[in-house]
Structure 1
Amino acid sequence: MKIARVRLKENSMETYGLVSEDGQKIITKEQIHEETGIPVPPRIKEFLFGGWLEEVKKVGKDLEFKLPLSKVELLAPLPNPPKIICLAFNYYDHARDAGLTPSEEPVIFLKPRTALNSPLGDVISPSYVKRLDYEAELAVVMGSRVKKIAEEDSLNAVFGYMIFHDVSARDIQFRDKQFTRGKSIDTFAPCGPWITTKDEIPDPQNLRITTKVNGETRQNSSSSKMVIPIRKIISSLSNLITMEPGDIISTGTPAGVAMSMKEPRYLKHDDVVEISIEGLGTIQNRILFD
Structure 2
Amino acid sequence: MQYIGINHDGGTWVAALNGPTVFPLAPATNFWADASGWQEKALALAADSETAQDESALDRSQVIEVPLVLPSARVICVGLNYRAHAAEGSFAVPEYPTLFGRWTASLSVGRVPAPVPGGEAGLDWEGEVAAYIGRRVESEDEVTAADAVFGYSTFNDLTARRAQKLTAQWTLGKNGDFTGPLGPLVSRDEVGDLRDGLQVRTRVNGTEVQNGNTRDMIFSVPAIISLISQTFTLHPGDVIATGTPDGVGYVRTPPWLLRAGDIVEVEIDRLGTLVTPIGEPSLRARA
Q: TM-score, normalised by structure 1?
A: 0.87
1:28: which partner in 2?
23
- Residue of structure 1 aligned with 2:194, choices 196, 199, 204: 204
Is the 8 Å Cα contact of residues 16 and 42 (structure 2) preserved in structure 1? no
Q: Counterparts of 1:18-97 in structure 2 under 5 Å? A: 18-20=16-18, 24-29=19-24, 41=26, 43-50=27-34, 51-58=37-44, 60-63=46-49, 64=52, 67-97=58-88
Q: Counterparts of 1:129-148 in structure 2 under 5 Å? A: 129-148=120-139
1:250: which partner in 2?
241
Is the 8 Å Cα contact of residues 120 and 284 (structure 1) preserved in structure 2? yes
Is the 8 Å Cα contact of residues 219 and 255 (structure 1) preserved in structure 2? yes
- Residue of structure 2 aligned with 1:214, choices 205, 212, 219: 205
| Identical pairs, percent | 30
Is the 8 Å Cα contact of residues 6 and 14 (structure 1) preserved in structure 2? yes
2:217: which partner in 1?
226
- SS of the residue aligned with 2:64? strand
Shift in Å, 1:107: 0.9
Is the 8 Å Cα contact of residues 14 and 31 (structure 2) preserved in structure 1? no
How many residues were matched structurally?
273
1:35: which partner in 2?
none
Shift in Å, 1:49: 3.4
> Distance in 1 between the 2:232 and 2:12 partners?
32
Query: Residue 164 in 1 paired to residue 155 in 2?
Result: yes
- SS of the residue aligned with 2:165? helix
2:107: which partner in 1?
116
Query: Residue 278 in 1 paired to residue 264 in 2?
Result: no
Is the 8 Å Cα contact of residues 154 and 234 (structure 1) preserved in structure 2? yes
- The code of the aligned residue for 2:15 comes to G
1:149: which partner in 2?
140
Is the 8 Å Cα contact of residues 141 and 246 (structure 1) preserved in structure 2? yes
2:3: which partner in 1?
3
- The code of the aligned residue for 2:30 comes to E
> Distance in 1 between the 2:279 and 2:41 partners?
42
Query: Residue 236 in 1 paired to residue 227 in 2?
Result: yes
> Distance in 2 between the 1:283 and 1:17 partners?
18
Shift in Å, 1:86: 0.4
1:264: which partner in 2?
255
Note the aligned Cα RMSD (angstroms): 2.1
Shift in Å, 1:108: 0.6
Residue deviations 1:93-114 (CA, integer Å, cap 9, x gap) = 0000000112131111111111
1:127: which partner in 2?
118
Shift in Å, 1:236: 1.1
Residue deviations 1:26-81 (CA, integer Å, cap 9, x gap) = 2322xxxxxxxxxx54x023124323333443564224586443333332222425
Is the 8 Å Cα contact of residues 154 and 231 (structure 1) preserved in structure 2? yes
Is the 8 Å Cα contact of residues 131 and 171 (structure 1) preserved in structure 2? no
- SS of the residue aligned with 1:140? strand
Is the 8 Å Cα contact of residues 148 and 235 (structure 1) preserved in structure 2? yes
Q: TM-score, normalised by structure 2?
A: 0.88
Tell me: CA distance 1:151–1:269, structure 2 relative to 1, closer, same or farther (3 Å).
same
Residue deviations 1:94-148 (CA, integer Å, cap 9, x gap) = 0000001121311111111110112221101223111420101111100111111
> Distance in 1 between the 2:90 and 2:213 partners?
20
- Mark the runs of 5 or more structure 2 residues left unpaired by the alignment: 282-287
